[in-house]
Amino acid sequence: MSSKIAELAGRIHDNVLRLDAHLRDNGLPSPSFDEDGPVDFGINSEAIQIARDTALGSSLELYKLLLGPALCLRPVYNGVSLQAIWKYDIASKVPIHGEISSRSWLKSADSAKSIFVVF
């Protein structure tokens, strides 16, 4: 009988193979964090979406098990910064190819001005 972590790893492997085959068979791009990579998967198949969701859920469970209870229950390091990036839509104000100064960004982010101090 396999351990829980081996079972989860197998489930991840099987479902990722299904997802990968679907992407290749349908000429869809592979997931990537490249700046020109796909924004989403373009999955129209319910079975493949279930495989993706199963792989994600199993990955998260495996990750938590491998961390163990002591690390798993700690708060996310610097999670407040990520919440601010999401809440104030900061990422959409930063050009993909280039940079933006804090002052320029603040001019385009009226709702976030109250949380930032510009010197």
Q: Are 20 and 47 contained in the same domain?
A: yes
Q: How far is CA 12 from the centre of its chain?
A: 16
Domain that holds residue 109: 79-115
- Which residue would you say has higher pLDDT here, 25 or 79? 25
Query: The pTM is what?
Result: 0.62
Hey, is 12 helix, strand or coil? helix
Round to whole Å and give the CA distance between 54 and 63: 14
Hey, is 114 helix, strand or coil? helix
pLDDT at 114 over 70: no
Phi/psi of residue 92, each to 5°? -75, -15
Q: What is the per-residue pLDDT across 21-60, written as a single tens digit (0 to 9) for each?
A: 999 999 998 998 888 888 888 888 999 999 999 999 999 9
Q: Are 68 and 83 contained in the same domain?
A: no
What's the pLDDT at 24? 94
Q: Are 65 and 85 contained in the same domain?
A: no
Q: Are 102 and 48 contained in the same domain?
A: no
